[in-house]
Amino acid sequence: MEKTENKMGTMSVFPLIISMSVPAMLSMLVQAMYNVVDSFFVAKVSENALTAVSLAFPIQTLLIALAVGTSVGINSLVSRRLGERRQEKANSAATHGILLGAFNWAIFALVGLLFSEPFFRSFTANEEIITMGTQYMSIVCIVSMGVFIEINIEKTLQATGNMIYPMLSQILGAVTNIILDPIFIFGLLGVPKMGVAGAAIATVIGQIFAMLFLIYIIVKKDHQVVISFRNFKLDFSTIRDIYSVGFPSIIMQAIGSVMVVGMNAILIGFTETAVALFGVYFKLQSFVFMPVFGLMQGVMPIIGYNFGARRRDRLLSTVRIGSIISVVIMAIGTALFWLIPDRLLLIFNASRLMLEIGVPALHTISICFVPAALGIMFSTVFQAVGSGFKSLIISVLRQLIVLLPAAFLLSKIGLPFVWYAFPIAEGASLIASIVFYLQLYKKRLKTL
């Protein structure tokens, strides 16, 4: 049992959100910087190298979907059990997280071994792209243990209100990656020149460093949850509770992978440069979306804790303040995409063709940023209170039911029109999100 009330139940909401979110937002910004630096160096190799990494992106998205989705379920369950004062159940959820991370790693190790080359051959006949892409995907998948274990420990600590160690672990991983990227890609300091494979090796080493740091923290420091395998018993009801929230989150993000595959299939019909541009867009938009996701990392345990503690006033204040902050961040991002799109693209050594198709693309897609801020907030609420299926429905609507069909139809008019599928899909999903939130409020939040 806790000796004192957790700060998530007592501290003023706005300072609480800032204290919980700023460390996560900073670490996510570092992650975004890594994404850009990684692609910056890869683009220096060749546009084919950038295309290879862009084609591998959906598989990385699937990997991250499984890792993050599982960890979201752990975060939600641990924070709710702490709010309910069920300490042993919180400890059990955290311990199960380590086992689930190891199991998920084994799945993707097999994916990397068996499916890397066939995946690339299904998209292109360019042997250089196939070779580089296969190397990159194999390494990232087979040596993915670091990310699966690290992120589950990270979300467990965040569920207790501890945001500093997760921030430090993400910064450690990203900075390690940034330092090693040019060394392994271009063969500096006596290291062999490895090109795209070097970028993958730098990535997994950064993930392993982050994992080892958090394992040390869990073993050596005191926390509000205890991860221990002493007298541990596998509890399938705990796994079920984790994935009742986590599975919809996994599917939500996996749908993102399906969306990218579908968009790549549409775009490659115009030019391979369009595929490379789409990959560049995802790197750039991470600077806008990552801080919002960091904000949500701080907001989710606050909502989950106060939902478990039946504190409706604090829960609703968190939703309101979180929405305002995320809208401001997205508005700033929209302004940047409209004011300096060419400068953003030139970071990636953009060709004249990429600039020609990329500037209007960034203008158009960024229209969806502000509506997306509210959509992300509503999805976070659904996950935090254990209603992750609502988030799943919204994600399916946004990325499959609306976006891909709209992009396919608009592609018949021309490439510049394809990008309008993004604001169309975001508008439709926001309307559905508002409807679901009102239903949730009437059925579960109003009576807290």
Q: In sequence order, what are the residues at sequence separation of 6 or more whose Cβ sits closer than 8 angstroms to the Cβ of residue 76? A: 159, 245, 246, 300, 304, 383, 384, 386, 388
| Domain-located, residue 2 | no
H/E run at residue 310: none
Q: How many domains does the chain have?
A: 1
Sign of CA dihedral 246, 100, 217, 140: negative
Residue 350 DSSP code? -
Amino acid at 333: G
Contacts by residues 120-126 (CB-CB < 8 Å, ≥ 24 positions apart):
120/52, 120/55, 120/56, 123/55, 123/264, 123/265, 123/268, 124/55, 124/268, 124/272, 126/48, 126/272
Contact 21, 297 (CB under 8 A): yes
What is the pLDDT at residue 4? 55
Domain for residue 43, yes or no? yes
Q: What is the DSSP string of 360-382?
A: HHHHHHGGGHHHHHHHHHHHHHH
Tokens for 80? 């709710």
The residue type at 123: F
Length of the chain: 448
Q: Is residue 1 part of a domain?
A: no
Question: Does residue 65 contact residue 151 with C-beta atoms inside 8 Å?
Answer: no
222 φ, ψ (degrees, to nearest 5): -90, 140
Calculate the CA 231 to chain-centre distance. Answer: 34
Residue 253 placed within a domain: yes
In a domain, 339, yes or no: yes
Please tell me the pTM assigned to this model: 0.71
SS3 annotation, 149-199: HHHHHHHHHHHCCCCHHHHHHHHHHHHHHHHHHHHHHHCCCCCCCCCHHHH
pLDDT 10s digits, 364-383: 999 999 999 999 999 999 98
User: Quick check: is 3 in a domain?
Assistant: no
Domain range for 163 is: 8-445
Determine, yes or no, domain membership for 98: yes
Q: pLDDT tens digits, the chain, 448 residues: what are they?
A: 344 567 777 788 899 899 888 887 887 777 777 777 777 888 888 878 888 888 888 888 888 889 988 988 888 888 888 877 778 788 888 888 889 999 999 999 999 989 888 988 887 778 888 999 999 999 999 999 999 999 899 988 888 877 788 889 988 998 898 899 999 999 998 889 998 899 999 999 999 999 999 999 988 887 778 777 787 788 888 888 888 888 877 887 788 778 888 998 899 889 888 988 998 898 888 888 888 988 998 898 888 888 888 888 899 999 999 999 999 999 999 999 999 999 999 988 888 999 999 999 999 999 999 999 999 999 999 988 877 788 888 888 988 899 999 999 999 999 999 999 999 999 999 999 999 999 999 988 888 7
CA distance 329 to 292: 7
> Contact, 163 vs 23, CB < 8 A?
yes
The reply to whether 233 falls in a domain is yes
Say how far apart CA 266 and CA 262 lie, in whole Å.
6
